[in-house]
Amino acid sequence: MSKIAFVFPGQGAQYTGMAKDFYESFPVSRQVFQTASEASGLDVRALCFEEEDRLNITEYTQIAMLTAEIAMLRALEETGIHSQVNAGLSLGEYGALIASGVMKEKDAFEVVRKRGIYMQEAYPTGGAMSAVLGTDAGLIEKVCEETEGIVSVANYNCPGQIVITGEEKAVSAAGEALKEAGARRVIPLKVSGPFHCELLKGAGEKLGQALEAVELQPFSIPYVTNVTAGYVTEPDSVKELLVRQVFSSVRWQQCVEAMIRDGVDTFVEIGPGKTLTGFLKKIDRSVKALHVEKAEDLETVRKECL
């Protein structure tokens, strides 16, 4: 019997039309869009299916992505497929918390709408992020520490791909130093802020205030947190972890490795694109990588998992 993890991508994988076939085919998915619209005060259906101009702006991206992921999740659950552990990359962690029964959909949508706004407003200019390919984490950490200004690791995605974040000048200088030290490529990313670094601490504090009103539920399934790459089974620490996640490194590779050590042999990526599936293949090719992005994917996943 497979040990299954549901994993949810973060922002960056969004596109106009995501989850539209789920919306059209499954009442449970339509209800997710309705709940998200009521909770956020936005027409999330229009945002996901029509409004390309706003979809790539952080304050709108986050609620749109989470809605699409949960619409897909609910349709998948109706097929009888369930996970033994959940995780998500950055924003995707909220998908994991809903899947684990810790956050109600309405609460998660309200919080994520605010999270997007706080992160958009936190550092509107002068920040940057770059993907560093083809060198090891230790060297990247060392170069970041030695570079003048604020620059640090945002994401440990997979072997050979790490993202750095911080002040634009510092990120650029660290990138040049890494190329000189042997990094294969350093690619500036088109982002609206220097996410997952200390410059976003204010956004994290505001998020903490928003989370105070949220009543968390007992875990039905554990999740693995980005901040420590450890399993979480009690709700007591969840809010603090979500606050820290905004300005801390996302330890995605370490999260996946922890789940594999725990016996997970099947990962189901739920959401637009195949970003996490790509990372998984570089982390450990011996485990099964499936994804749910289109309605027809449900049958494939059902056959592989049941």
Q: How far apart are CA 258 and CA 262, in angstroms?
A: 6
Q: How far apart are CA 223 and CA 96, in angstroms?
A: 7
Measuring CA to CA, how many Å separate 189 from each of 81, 130, 194? 35, 5, 10
Please state, as a whole number, how many other Cβ atoms lie within 10 Å of the Cβ of residue 43.
14
Tokens of 5: 């993890």
Catalytic: which of 40, 90, 130, 172? 90
Catalytic: which of 83, 100, 196, 248? 196
Contacts of residue 113, defined as CB under 8 A and 6 or more positions apart, other chains included, come to 39, 40, 41, 42, 59, 62, 63
Q: Under a CB-based contact definition with an 8 Å cutoff, are residues 129 and 164 in contact?
A: yes
Handedness of CA 81, 113, 163, 238 (dihedral sign): negative
| Pairing verdict, β 223-224 and 161-167 | unpaired
Q: How far apart are CA 165 and CA 265, in angstroms?
A: 32
90 as an active site residue: the answer is yes
Q: How far apart are CA 25 and CA 179, in angstroms?
A: 48
Buried b (16+ CB within 10 A) or exposed e, 135-173: beeebbbebbeebeebbbbbbbbbeebbbbbbbbebbbb
196 as an active site residue: the answer is yes
Annotated catalytic sites, by residue? 90, 196
